[in-house]
Structure 1
Amino acid sequence: MTHEHEVEIVSPVARSVVPSAKPPLESVLARISIEDRAALDRLLTETVEYLDHPSFARARTAKDLFGVTAEQAAQPWVNSADARPVAKGCGTNATLTNNQEQKLFLRMNYARYRMAKLFQAHAGKRLTGKAASELLFWQRQVIATRCEIVQANVPLVLAMAKRTRMGNVDYAELISEGNMALLRSVDKFDCGRGFKFSTYACRAILKSFSRVALKSNRYRGRFPTEFDPSLEKSRHAELLREQVEIDCVDELRGILRQNLADLNDVEVRVIQARFALGQAAQAGGDVEPAPKTLEQVGDMIGVTKERVRQIQNRALAKLRSKLQDDFLAA
């Protein structure tokens, strides 16, 4: 019968290492998958932060926490499928005991500790294939263990959001802020103080709710009304263009009414029928009829539509000449 290892309660020390190692040779990178090459490039630019613990210096810590020795973790591999995370803990829906929780946080920080030691050993040097493999191995353990902790504590966010009464904050935004606070809490939690992670995380989640409520109130103070997309676009240019069109039509009607362009009776009838000018005034109505086609106008005056087109073009030329003369005179 196996017993779960007891976790030593010691207050860890926060440490950070800025990587200065150089990427491996191209021949080494060629044996690594594209996904892992991208992960390695990202690791070389990110600071490694972890909470140190006295047990990390012991040779058997890797075996106790992950079930592998340091030598096994350093074995080179070619494909990411050959190096699945070996972090083992509770299921994603299980409630963690205090001892299980502390062990998960020790796993995550130990994996980061091993990454920091690799960067320190290769400071200013080029990473070897063995070092790159081990670095990616421990990075996968960090991700696996971190995900396990987050998934076990996601219900905290939902519970806190339901208990919090914030009518002016969208529920989805509240959940999003709570999840971000949970992720930050996982990275900063000190399991060596003897407290449950939920105690620390709940406080951080509530603070994030307060921040999003304050941000929402500040926004509503500046913009008290709801967002209206119709207010984002001004119709001034459109209204100005419509007014210009109305003025031009009125001017054309005046020219036709007074026959200032020297049009004959047939040309006047064709222009009025084709462009519906002056017909509303004659009918005494408010809505002008639709413009008539060449064929319809031809039936009115007893000619073919081609002849109507010729009459229309001759009348438009006279009107254009009159408008240009008025413009130059002005």
Structure 2
Amino acid sequence: MSGLSLTTCGPSSFWGMSGRGPGPSISIETKEVTRAHRDPSADAIRARRLFDADLSYIVHPSFDDPGAEDAILASMPTSAVAQASRRGKAPTGISPYLASLYDEAPLLTREQEAHLFRKMNYLKFRASRLRAQIDPDRARAVDLETLERDLEAALAIRIQLVRANLRLVVSIASRNLGPHDDLFERVSDGNVVLFRAVELFDSSRGNKFSTYATWAIRNQLARAAQAKHHRQSRFLLGQEEVLAIAADPRTEAVDPSDLQEQRQAAVARLLARLGDRERRVLVGRYGIGGACEQTLTQLGQELGITRERVRQIEARAQDKLRGLARAHELAPLLA
């Protein structure tokens, strides 16, 4: 019996499925394993892994019909004419990688889409039913192999559905791009929603997946933009707090240029109380002191951390600035 060992190398497993762009390389090693020499502990580990897997699925009326299984598991219906005519046109001004998504996987017809969604959910339904019959402590290798095959087949269909709709994310992100937004960041946020939408879509209701996904992606991008605006507003409010504390009502009229220099010095000294990375993130994100504004991705690449980690550092630094301002710690700094 042959076993597969997959080893991934790289920062992101998502991009690896597309075959292009940043992502891992995958090496495959085959090992001959006989039932006589099978390690019982290996089966126990496999069983625990499979029992921890998420097998949630969307129920379809045909799942309870024993005679429908062959039709459900059949190959996807094809149409050469439809396949050739359903390749979308890439928007202008996007990177070659994003443009390539419009050529890699043709759009699915409504019939193909419904077939794939039903098949994916049926495989998870069947795997869930089998798993319920398995005793984790006495799992048979044949049952674990069957369970793994169904899960791998369901995952392959999920990836196929995602790839066929990646261009939808690019299109929506391109149309909702702000002047200071990074297209790759917006696409990345939209891709997360797309993966989740594939899991939650109920094809039995007769709706098109693109309609459902477009609604979900637009809502997420709008929330992300609102959250970004809120963070920027909070930072600006924090600056106002700093400047308000820096103002001394006992002073007489001051030359505007001198006042501006004092304020800049006050903010600079307050920023000096932050850690190096916190200060670097705020300066880059908001262009403080004339610096160029940078996206989360750009700062992450510069600092060797993830976008999410940059976001966390930014939020923490803003909280520190407001705390320093409210505690009136600026006065001794200016002394």
The alignment's TM-score, normalised by the length of structure 2, stands at 0.49
Query: Which of the two has greater helix per residue?
Result: 2
Larger Rg: 1
Higher RCO, 1 or 2 (CA under 8 Å, sep at least 6)? 1
